[in-house]
Amino acid sequence: MSAALSVTLDWVLWGLYALVVLKWLAGHLEINRNVKALSLSPAPPTSSPTPTAGISVIIAAHNEADSITACLARVCAQDHPVAQVIVANDRSTDGTAQAISVFARRHPEVQYLDIAALPSGWLGKAHALAQAADRADGDWLVFTDADVVWHPALLRTIMELSARERLDFVSLWPNTVVIGFWERLLIPACGWALGLWFAARCPGVIAETPAFANGQFIAIRREAYARIGGFAAVRDDLTEDVALARRAKAAGLRRYMGLGRELLNTRMYENLSQVISGWTRIFTGALRTRRRLAATLLATTIGCWSAFAAMLVLALRPTAAGWGPLESAWLIAALAHLAAMYSVLRRQMALGLEGRPLLTLFPLALIGVVLLLCRCLLLTSGLGTVSWGGIRFKVRGTRAVAPVGSG
């Protein structure tokens, strides 16, 4: 290869790398649009309130004795009327059943549903929610988790938004609390990787809402829920919330996926085992295909580590090779890459994380993300198992099959 051709190829490669840097810089514009269009704040009280819709709140609780009472108290303290609260105690082995019963005796709107066994072909949470939804009679069905803390104005805010935008399906991303080392290290990086596929391309445009939902909060009109088949239609999907959102999009429902950092608060996982199990399930179910999993691996490598690779190559260059315009261009691009990446990540973390995310260790955290994605690739190839709700499953595509025992 001639020297001139080699230099030309080097500049072409630099140009491609510059596109990566520009993509990171464009992240600031994306954040500005998302904050403006998708951030929800508690709606102020109004003298002309939205007509009251009957609301049934549905909670699936599996070994939630430590959190279910506080959860129910928050739900019952909403400043918007709640007609019915149904708690499905899903095969709990701790004091969840007793805690629900004690609370229900003081609050007649709270109904208790005990689920003793998991039928074949179902995952636990989808089954519990489906059973409870069959008993609900509200115009709106609101699904939430026992470890989610609600703002008192949450339901009023959602109902006003739904009336204003004529929505059928609403989901929110909460403020996620990270406390332990592994939470602070891995959850921000996992969230970034997932966001590569589910970022709002046209924030505020209802028709362009991504086919995504967060099971920690989903509100759906009763008629719409029935039209898309409810949780029975996604009974064995690893991410029943995302699968339900896909069906909602396919049915032409008016959907909204917003940032609920001021309205919802939760701690997703509390230790490394939970982080691994939870995000393996999320990546496998939400990304769906091996092609997407592999593309996420590639985006992680090129989008983040390339800056460090470029600087390492420059540092290891022989002294005799000299330093010219190309080397200066690579150094400037790498430094701009790092500055853009860390500034965008810092803003992204501020939108939905509470605690002290280990942002400086983000490149190391991506090693964990890569290992999780590789595990997902093995799972979708029929190798290994995933644990959820105390049961280990084999996986076929995004669906759990063949329980193989407890885990």
DSSP 346-379: HHHHHHHEEE---GGGHHHHHHHHHHHHHHHHHH
Return the amino acid letter for 18: A
Residue 396, C-beta contacts closer than 8 angstroms, at least 6 positions apart: 382
pLDDT of residue 53: 72
What domains are there in the chain, each with its CATH number? 3-32+289-406 (no CATH), 44-179+206-286 (3.90.550.10)
Angle at 86 between CA 387 and CA 248, to 5 degrees: 65
In this predicted structure, what is the pLDDT of residue 50? 56
Helices (H), 199-239: 222-227
Q: Which residues of the chain have pLDDT under 50?
A: none
User: What pLDDT, on a 0 to 100 scale, did the predictor assign at position 322?
Assistant: 73
User: CB neighbours of 4 closer than 8 A, spacing ≥ 6?
Assistant: none
List all residues 6 or more positions away from 350 whose beta carbon is below 8 Å from its beta carbon: none
Rounded to the nearest 10 degrees, the angle between the axes of helix 181-198 and helix 290-300 is 110
Element (H, E) at 144: strand 140-145
pLDDT value of position 52? 62
CB 341 within 8 A of CB 24: yes
- The pLDDT value recorded for residue 302 is 92
pLDDT recorded at residue 368: 96
Which pLDDT tens digit goes with each residue over 269-299? 999 999 999 999 999 999 989 999 999 999 9
Write the pLDDT tens digit of every residue in 246-258: 999 999 999 999 9
Contacts of residue 121, Cβ cutoff 8 Å, sequence gap at least 6? 235, 236
pLDDT at 307: 93
Strand order in the sheet with 140-145: 110-115, 84-90, 55-61, 140-145, 217-221, 169-173, 255-259
Residue 81's pLDDT is what?
A: 92
Tally the C-alpha atoms within 13 A of residue 131's C-alpha that lie toward its C-beta. 23
Q: Say how far apart CA 406 and CA 34 lie, in whole Å.
A: 41
Distance CA 264, CA 40 (A): 10
- Quote the pLDDT of residue 36: 86
Query: What angle in degrees, to the nearest 10, is found between the helix axes of 96-106 and 68-76?
Result: 30
Tokens at residue 62, please?
């599996």
